[in-house]
Amino acid sequence: MIRDRIEKIVRDEGITSSKFADEIGSQRSSISHILSGRNNPGFEILQNILNRYRNINAEWLMQGIGNMYKSGGTTTNTNAKEEIKQEQIIIEASPTPPLHETTEAINTVKKENFIEKEEKTIEKIVVFYSDNSFKEYFSAHQNNI
């Protein structure tokens, strides 16, 4: 399960779930709910994990395929933290980190990894413009409101 793989990352990094949540920029309660099995991670959390821990193999995280680390072997906690420090410098220097690898892997996640309680449909989209005007768009299945 994806929860087990996230738990392994936390354990291998030698940090608490709270520290992990802080490092990936997620709410502590969200990570707690994922690790307890109450919720499954969404796209944003998976993306944050892969952006923060760039040595993690995205296919392993998403589907449990392959090795945990991109290099094919395990990385010691000290080495992983040093790699992260070096990558933080690169991330801070560039305004948007490249996401092509993580986006492709996340798009391959099977729908069965996510539990949806109800089917949701878009009813209305509101676009706000810089002059404080706005435009509303309604879905085709909805009657004109």
Q: Which of 73, 71, 30 is closest to 48 using CA atoms? A: 30
pTM higher than the cut 0.75: no
CATH classification for the domain delimited by 2-113, as one of 1.10.760, 1.10.260, 3.40.50, 3.30.160: 1.10.260
The tens digit of pLDDT for each residue in 93-143 reads: 445 545 555 555 565 554 445 555 566 778 888 888 888 888 888 877 655
CB 139 within 8 A of CB 124: yes
pLDDT at 19 over 90: yes
Q: Amino acid letter at 104? A: E
Confidence of residue 71 (pLDDT cuts 50, 70, 90): confident
The tens digit of pLDDT for each residue in 73-89 reads: 444 455 555 555 555 55
- What letter would DSSP give residue 137? E
* Domain residue limits, the chain: 2-113
C-alpha to C-alpha distance for 34 and 4, rounded to whole angstroms: 10
